[in-house]
Amino acid sequence: MTKREVVTRFAPSPTGKLHLGNIRTALVNFLFARQNGGRFLLRLEDTDRERSSEEYCEGIFHDLRWLGLFWDGGVVRQSHRLERYREVAARLVEEGHAYPCFCTTAQLEAQREEQLKRGEPPGYDGRCSRITPSEAKARISKGEPYTVRFRLGEGEVRFHDLLRGELSFPLPERGDFVILRQNGMPTYHLAVVVDDGDAGVTHVIRGEDHLPNTPKQIRLIEALGGAVPTYCHLPLVRSGKECVMEKREGSADFSVERLREMGFLPQALLDAVAILGWSTTLSPPMGLERLVEEFSISQLGTSSPILTMDHLLAVNRAWITKAEPSLIVKYVSTSIPEDRLVELVEVVRENSSTLRELEEWVEAVEIGPDVPLEFNEEQQKVLCFVRDVWREELSISALRAAMKERGLKAKEVMPLIRMALVGEPHGPPLDRILSLLGPEEVMSRLEKALA
């Protein structure tokens, strides 16, 4: 038997900005596809007409490309496939797997209230499932509004989850669910099953909040005669406040757009979400190629990992301080020529946790203090002393020898020099700053500080 090509998918809704909870799901799908020589697809679940927007669609494309998570083939938009969903719903009705439901909202609410009064679990009682096909067609032809409900059936649904092993879900007694709304729009269950089947998706890797949906979707797939995919339900990422990031209130601080503006490298964000809950001895910087080689779903935990800004900053700092400067400079916003910029990055990166901090240090070293400096009389005397020593020999060793003769301590001298040269009392190694600037520029900045 020919082995099926592995096909995964990332299917965000363009109703908001991508956050790192979304990206973790996208990354695991991407890595699994690449590890197995398969395809990674992108689908936009954009049937929510009120909340979906083209701006969010473009944002999704931009964020994924910026992160290097390139998808295979074109983008599938559910809003372009409405006739396909209606066609499948009609087929399910024709084959007896689904039926038109004429119950109004008021009737359904009254039904629910009665069930709760009796202490019963609420659910649809299936009254329209007993309507004959001929009667249903007659009511539809008269223009009576209706939804389409799927016959869920009885028993239980079993399936294997890559992360959680064998799972079993008993089906509710009143479980028939809507797959097509009165306005002809599909529900999530119908659209996702049709899309995955048409695209040949073999592995559905998504958040654990979809676990309750899986039995319904498996029954739909079986009714359509399709191949049930392999499932993997990832634990939801929580923010530092322990809010589920997949919910809007927990994701605002961790949107890809915001983190990019703050100065995070795309490689760092991928590493940061990859190691969440991953039992590995590896540490950043890693990058996509290394993750494809090393990452394993089987090494993920099932408890919800917590993502904090401190974690992100630590990973970003690891990338800034350890990656090749030639890679870092590609993300630095400055007009400084690249060769010079590489030299500057080498010197200042140990003092930077974000690209914005790195850019500030680059400007400080290359241009000098951006505001007039004020030194008192004693401080000016110290700077005059430093200037005179460095006129003879521009080196830290020569300065230290002269300081020893004069009885000056490093804490009295070094912060003043840094202030005069870069506008900060602490920062990159002073000897490297001197080497970068050269004698003429060092003397110029000292004279300017003393003016």
Question: Each residue of 277-308: pLDDT tens digit?
Answer: 999 999 999 999 999 999 999 999 999 999 99
Q: Domain for residue 223, yes or no?
A: no
The confidence score (pLDDT) of residue 451 equals 85
CB 207 within 8 A of CB 236: yes
| Residue 285 preceded by cis peptide, ω within 30 | yes
Confidence of residue 121 (pLDDT cuts 50, 70, 90): confident
Q: Domain for residue 70, yes or no?
A: no
The confidence score (pLDDT) of residue 184 equals 95
pTM for the full predicted model: 0.92
Query: What mean pLDDT do residues 184-192 have?
Result: 97
User: What does the alpha-carbon distance between residue 52 and residue 9 come to, in Å, rounded to a whole number?
Assistant: 19
Tell me how many domains the chain contains. Answer: 2
Whether 246 has a pLDDT exceeding 70, the answer reads: no
Q: Domain for residue 289, yes or no?
A: yes
Query: Are 260 and 317 part of one and the same domain?
Result: yes
> Alpha carbon 154 to chain centroid distance?
38
**Residue 247 is a catalytic residue:** yes
Domain of 410?
Answer: 368-450
* 80 CB neighbour count, 10 Å cutoff: 11
Q: What are phi and psi of 300, to 5 degrees?
A: -85, 145
Q: What CATH code is carried by the domain that includes residue 258?
A: 1.10.1160.10
Last residue of a domain, one of 267, 302, 329: 329
Tell me the β-bridge partners of 150.
Answer: 98, 177
Query: What mean pLDDT do residues 48-62 have?
Result: 93
Half-sphere exposure of 406 (CA within 13 A, CB side): 16
User: What does the alpha-carbon distance between residue 184 and residue 55 come to, in Å, rounded to a whole number?
Assistant: 25
Query: Are 373 and 443 part of one and the same domain?
Result: yes
Query: Are 375 and 309 part of one and the same domain?
Result: no
Whether 172 has a pLDDT exceeding 90, the answer reads: no
Q: Domain for residue 304, yes or no?
A: yes
Q: What CATH code is carried by the domain that includes residue 423?
A: 1.10.10.350
Q: Domain for residue 232, yes or no?
A: no
CB 263 within 8 A of CB 248: no
| pLDDT-above-70 percentage for the chain | 97
Q: Domain for residue 404, yes or no?
A: yes
User: What does the alpha-carbon distance between residue 114 and residue 192 come to, in Å, rounded to a whole number?
Assistant: 33
Whether 1 has a pLDDT exceeding 50, the answer reads: no
Q: Domain for residue 298, yes or no?
A: yes
Query: What mean pLDDT do residues 212-232 have?
Result: 97
Last residue of a domain, one of 279, 314, 329: 329
pLDDT single digits (tens) 259-274: 999 999 999 999 999 9
User: What does the alpha-carbon distance between residue 271 and residue 251 come to, in Å, rounded to a whole number?
Assistant: 18
Q: Which of 241, 247, 322, 381 is catalytic?
A: 247
The confidence score (pLDDT) of residue 241 equals 60
Q: Domain for residue 115, yes or no?
A: no
Query: Are 313 and 387 part of one and the same domain?
Result: no
Query: Are 313 and 373 part of one and the same domain?
Result: no
User: What does the alpha-carbon distance between residue 8 and residue 32 come to, in Å, rounded to a whole number?
Assistant: 8
Query: What mean pLDDT do residues 69-90 have?
Result: 97
Last residue of a domain, one of 300, 329, 358: 329
Query: What mean pLDDT do residues 417-437 have?
Result: 95
